[in-house]
Structure formats: C-alpha cells, structure tokens
Structure 1
Amino acid sequence: MNCRLCGSSRLESVVDLGATPPCELFLTREALDAPEPTYPLHLRLCAECLLAQIPPLITPEETFTEYAYFSSFSTSWVAHARRFVDEALARTGADFVVEVASNDGYLLQHAVARGVRCLGVEPSANVGQAARDKGVPTVTEFLTEETGRAVRAGHGPAGLVVANNVYAHIPDVIGFTKGLRALVADDGWVSIEVQHLLTLIELNQYDTIYHEHFQYYTVASAQRALASGGLVLVDVELLPTHGGSLRLWARPEGEPGPRVAEVLAREKAAGLHELAGYTAFAERVARVRRDLLRFLVQAADEGKTVVGYGAPGKGNTLLNHCGIRPDLLAYTVDRNPYKHGRYTPGTRIPVLPPERIAADRPDYVLVLPWNLREELTEQLAYVRGWGGRLVFPIPSLEIV
C-alpha cells in the first residue's frame, strides 16, 4: 500500500479495527446463511504528507451503485443543507450550482425552490431517482476528470460546485479533485464539507472509520489534496456536523485567508502535523470498546433490555469492533424503510421501524448516530415516560 496522495510507502499504523463487512450492505433474511466477506479496517498515516487513509479494498462501484443511505431522513441535515444553500448563494452569487454525490436531492431541492439552475451528479441509481422524483435534475455518474469535463461541456461551467460528505469517499483523490476543477468556472467556487480529523482524534470518533471513507483530513492534508487537482484553499469553516467537520472553500486561483492559518495552528498545537500526535488514539479506542461492552453485559446480567436507535454506517463499525450481537442488543430501529426487515452487516442485528421502541418499552436505547444527539434526544423524549434511558457511546459512555 502506497499513499494515494503522494505515493510514499511510509505508512504508519494509527488504529487497527480488525476486519468488518462494508458498513451499508445490510443483509436480507435470505442472505443470513450465505458467506459474508469482510475486509481489514486499518487506519494508517502517511509519514510524508500526513494523509490518514485506509487501503482501497472496496471500490466505490461496489458501495454506491445501489445505496442504503438517504440524506433526507435526517430533518436536521435537510435544515443544515437549506442554510448552506442560502449562505452559499449569497456568498458566491452563483447562477448554476452542481452538487457531486447529491444523494436524494436533500440539498439541491433548496436551489430548485429558489429558481436557481442546478444539477446533481450522483452515482447511486436508486437515490438519484429519488432526487429526480423531487424535481432535482440528476445524472447518474461517478465524478472523474473526464465526467467533469463532459458535464461542463453539456451544461456549462458552474459558479458553485458542492461536494459535501464525499471527499473522503473516493480512493482516487487526485482524479476526483481534477473533476471538481473541470466542473467549476475559472472564477467560481468549490465548497467541500468533510469530517475533521482533529475532532475524530480528540473525541474518539473512531466509528466514522469505515470502508466508504478512504481518507480522513486535516486542513493541512486537505490543502495538499486540493492543490493536486489545481484548486487553492482560500477559506475554511469549522462546523458541528458529524461530530466536527470542515467546510473548505476552494477556487482555481486565490490565496489562503486568515481562517486557514488559524485552523492550521490549532492542528499543529494538537500534534497532528507530526506522527507523535496520533500514538495514543488506539488506546482511547480500546477504552470505548471496553466501557460499552461492560455496560451491555451488566445490563444483560440484570435482565434489562437494550435496543438501538439508528442503523448508520458508523454504528456498524462500532457494533463489529465491539463484537455486539443480538444477545446484547436485541434490535435497532431506523426511519429509513429501505433497512426495515434487514440485518446489520456482520453483527446480524435486526433493523425494525422506530415504532417498535414505544411498543416494547426497553430499559435502555443505545443511540448509534450520536452525531445527531440534539435531534434524537428530542425525538426520543417519550422514552422517559416509562423510565427508559438513552445511552451514548461516543466520545465516552454516557447514560442520560
């Protein structure tokens, strides 16, 4: 394995989570007796350019051609997208917006509502169709430099190119970045949202490491990645989404602004611009695992019932790393009907509709999408009615 950004063979271990199945390949009942492939999940850091990455063992085509994740099932995420569209259009003045990995139209629907011409570039046929059903123009393509040029030739250059929560999902980071450059006008803007490696490390958010995420960015490594495709990082915002994210603003030409220097300084102070800043992470991950298992085993010994809320990709990393099975977590629920009647990959935990919680009145609800804590605490307030409690496993075990 060589670094996918600089080509170096000097890759140092950060944390090894064993081998797990792809996190969004939920199993049907018929598949439970069939073999289930697993792949190593080992985060490494390039000693040369400091890009954190996992081996590209699964292709995007295997994961995203038919996809289980629909962005619109999170009301807070749709609201976040609406605010972004308002702010980005005011900032850029763009009259044509292209979103890469546009999912089910959760974001571009707000551009459509404002009468702004837009286009989604979405590789998953099923969620892309959901976007078209909402009136969001969408093409089914993976972004490469070639497809970026083809979209530009057919639709014109974009004043704003959006790539939210996809920059970690592509193994060919250089080719993808060149695709972004191909899409954007020479005086246009590229906006990227991606989880910040700083918060991942500081807050033990190791469950966001899974096979769909090929790399994990600091501002320093993102700056290098953008430059590889001909884009300059000119501004950065720190966001609370996904436990702590970066909003990167890039342009074909420009200079880094003061906020870029500020975040680079924070990363350097945390030790993330050198190998030493990553050495204690594996032990903190092990502590999360031990604490959660201790709680679940004790609850089982006491005859308490524990169920899950949510079936996100990050939850499957946590469940598989901890070895949690239905004897410790009877089932989990999810608002996405695509997952109902299926089973979590690897751990084979049933996924049921959310109404099941009120019917069964469990003692504890383990919240797997902990990044939506505020939204889900409100949604699950009814659990208090029978004395139930919510359990958050990240950044450390908390029962509320």
Structure 2
Amino acid sequence: MQCRLCDSDRLTSVLDLGATPPCESFLAADDLDLPEATYPLHLRLCQDCLLLQIPALITPEETFTEYAYFSSYSQSWVRHAEQFVATAVERLALDTDSFVVEVASNDGYLLRHAVARAIPCLGIEPSVNVGAAARAAGVPTETTFLDEDSAARVRAEHGPADLVVANNVYAHIPDLRGFTRALRTLLSDDGWLSIEVHHALNLVQLGQFDTVYHEHFQYYTVYSAQRALAVAGLTVVDVELLDTHGGSIRLWARPEPVAVATPRVAEVLDLERAAGLHDPAGYAELGPRAESVRQELLRFLLDCRAAGKRVVGYGAPGKGNTLLNYCGVRPDLLEYTVDRNPYKHGRYTPGTRIPIHPPERLDLDRPDVVLVLPWNLESEITAQLHHVGEWGGELIYPLPVLHRGVPMGEPVAAGLADTKVN
C-alpha cells in the first residue's frame, strides 16, 4: 500500500478492526441466507505526510450510487447547515449575483437555505435516490460524481463558484489529489472553499474508532489537510473547531494568490502538535482505547442479559455498524434497533444482522435499556427520547466512554459513567 497523498510506502498500522461489510450495506430479509462480502478495515498512518488512511477496497460508486443516509433526518444537522449559510452570507457578502456549489449535497439539507435567500446554487450529488429528494425539495441538483472532468463541465455550464462547500465528503474520495484539483476547478480565482471533516485529533484522543469505515478513506488533521489542499494550489486561511460528528474541523481555503491566513490556523496546529499528532508516536494509543470501549460495552450488555433486561438500539448509522461489528454485538445482546429513516425499516444491519424498525416500536415495547448508536447526536436524541425515563428505561451512550444520557438511580454496571462526557 502506498500513501494516496504523497506516494510514500512508509505506512504504519494504527488500528485493525478486522474484516467487516461496508457500513451502509443494509440487508433485506431475502438477503439473510446469502453470503455477505466483508473487507479488511485497517487504519494506517503515512510516516511522511501523516495522513491517516485505509486501503481503497470499495469504490465510491459501490457506496453512493444509491445511499441510505438522508441528512435532513437529523434536526440538529439541518440547524447547523442553516447557521452556516447565514454566516457565509454575511462573511462572504453572498447575494443574488453570487453562485454557491455544494459537493455531496445529499438531500438539499444545506442548499435549501440558499434557495430560500434566492442565492443561485447547485448541488452535486452522486446518489440517485438522495439527489431526487433534493430536486423534489426545490434544490437544483446534478446527479454525478465530482472528478476533474465533471468539474470542468459544471464550470463551463454555470461559471465559477464564489463558494464551494464540501461537508463530510473530503474523507470519502480515494482519488484525493484528483478530487482536490476538481474542487479548485469549480472555484473562482478569488473564491472560498469550505470543508467540514471529522478531526483526527478527536478520533485519536477520544478513541472514536467507530468513525472508521470503508467509505472513509482518509482522516485529517489540519496539518495533513493543508498538505492535501496544496496539491491544487489551495491554502487553508481559517479553521473552526466544531462539535458535529463527535468533533469536526471547518477548513476555509482559498487559491494561493488571495490567501491570507488568520491566527486560528496556527492555534489549531499548535493543539495538534501538543497532542503529539505531528509525530507518528502520537497515534499509538488509538488501538488500546478501542479495545477498552469494546470490553466495557460487552461487559455491560452481558450483565444486562444476565439480569433479564431487554436491550434495544436507537439509530442505524454507519458508525454504529462499525461499533457493532468490531464488538461482536448481535441480536442476542441487542434485540433490534430503530431509525427515523424509512429507507432502513424492515432491513438488517450489515454483518450483525440486527433488525431495524420505526422509532414507534420503542413506545410499544418499553425496553429497559436503549443503546444510542449515533452518540455524536447526544443532546438531540436525549431530548427526543426523554420519555423513555417515564417507564423506567435508560438511555446509554457507548462513546467516548459508556455513560447514561438520562441518569436514573444507581449505576447498572461497574464503570458506567453517571454523567455526560463531552
């Protein structure tokens, strides 16, 4: 394996999660007696450019031609997008003469706020089903994968963009250098690029191993992102630390001739350096942290089973499928899970084959324990499920450490935290 950014062959193992199915490959009932493909999930670090990465064993076309994730089902994510648009309009003086492009625009969760302000925009979304939902909501959307050819065509048809948004997509592209050049092609010479991506600082420091899955080909610090963007003559000029997805970074980049960096870039680089992430040795604790989470979760679930407690899940996100597969959790320990996305209803989680039902099933069954798999949405989900406590049920979050979302009574297992860990 060679580094996809700098071509170095000096890659070192950071975390080996075994072999799992792709995290969004949900199974229909008719699939349960058929073989299921699995692929190694092995995170490595380039010792030369410090890019965290996994081998590109599946293609984006396999994952994203039809996709199970619809952004608008997360209320907090929609609010986050609305706030971003409002801030970008003010910061960049966007108006009806501007042009905004979002890459991997999903179901129009963000650009609908640009449409509401009459700002010309275009979504570029590869998933046929998700892009159709965006168009139905009134968001102009082109169904295609962004590469250098499609970027040139979009620019020729629509002109250069004043703002290009790439939220939670920069990790999903195996051709990192070609995709970065495509972003630059979309952008005007004095334009702005905004990228949101999970911060490897949180991945390593907090043991967020469940954010590793096959459609995430690389994981960024600001340091490694700077090197990646430089491939296309883009310079990081600002960085914001966000609490989305368990801790993300928003990178603002501009073409080199107009790039002037704010002090925040150096400040975040200093944070990463202090955490040891500008040196390969700083990544050594991720594996032991993942093992600790696995042991603690399994101990808790086994104790619940021994006590005759009924345990079900909430959510069926990609990160949840990494967690369940790595920990070996199956229907004997987690009877089923529920999800707000109708696309997943009646299907089964990949690998672990846990049934997925509508959220109303919780109110019918009144389980003793609800294990929340999208732990990064703790505030939103705890508010949605506050009524679980009315029948004596508990909300349990597996990461960063096993803890209760709604503390009730005494701890149910040794080591279970009584308070939220942010």
The equivalent of 1:347 in structure 2 is 352
CA contact (8 A) 1:82 1:110 kept: yes
CA contact (8 A) 2:209 2:286 kept: no
Taking the TM superposition and a 5 Å limit, the aligned residue runs for 1:1-400 are 1-94=1-94, 95-253=98-256, 254-399=259-404, 400=407
Q: Which amino acid aligns with 1:10?
A: R
Q: What do the CA deviations read for 1:155-213 (whole angstroms, capped 9, x no partner)?
A: 01000000000000001111111011000100000000000000111111110000010
CA contact (8 A) 1:92 1:188 kept: no
Query: Shift in Å at residue 255 of structure 1?
Result: 3.1
Query: Shift in Å at residue 229 of structure 1?
Result: 1.7
Q: Which amino acid aligns with 1:265?
A: D
CA contact (8 A) 2:146 2:179 kept: yes
Query: Shift in Å at residue 386 of structure 1?
Result: 0.7
In 2, Cα distance between equivalents of 1:32 and 1:250: 46
CA contact (8 A) 2:204 2:285 kept: no
Q: Which amino acid aligns with 2:67?
A: Y
Query: Shift in Å at residue 283 of structure 1?
Result: 0.6
What is the RMSD of the two structures over their aligned residues, measured on CA atoms?
Answer: 0.6
TM-score (norm 1): 0.99
In 2, Cα distance between equivalents of 1:51 and 1:73: 31
CA contact (8 A) 2:47 2:280 kept: yes
Q: Identity percentage over the alignment?
A: 69
In 2, Cα distance between equivalents of 1:21 and 1:191: 31
Q: Which amino acid aligns with 1:150?
A: R
In 2, Cα distance between equivalents of 1:241 and 1:281: 20
CA contact (8 A) 1:314 1:369 kept: yes
In 1, Cα distance between equivalents of 2:255 and 2:93: 17
Q: What do the CA deviations read for 1:282-321 (whole angstroms, capped 9, x no partner)?
A: 1111000000000001100110000000000000000000
Query: Shift in Å at residue 71 of structure 1?
Result: 0.2
Q: Residue 376 of structure 2: SS of its match in structure 1?
A: helix
Query: Shift in Å at residue 257 of structure 1?
Result: 2.0
Length, aligned pairs only: 400
Query: Shift in Å at residue 256 of structure 1?
Result: 2.6
| Unaligned segments of structure 1, at least 5 residues | none
| Unaligned segments of structure 2, at least 5 residues | 408-422
Query: Shift in Å at residue 240 of structure 1?
Result: 0.5
CA contact (8 A) 1:163 1:191 kept: yes
In 2, Cα distance between equivalents of 1:280 and 1:313: 23
Query: Which shows bigger deviation, 51-60 or 85-94?
Result: 85-94
Q: Which amino acid aligns with 2:43?
A: L
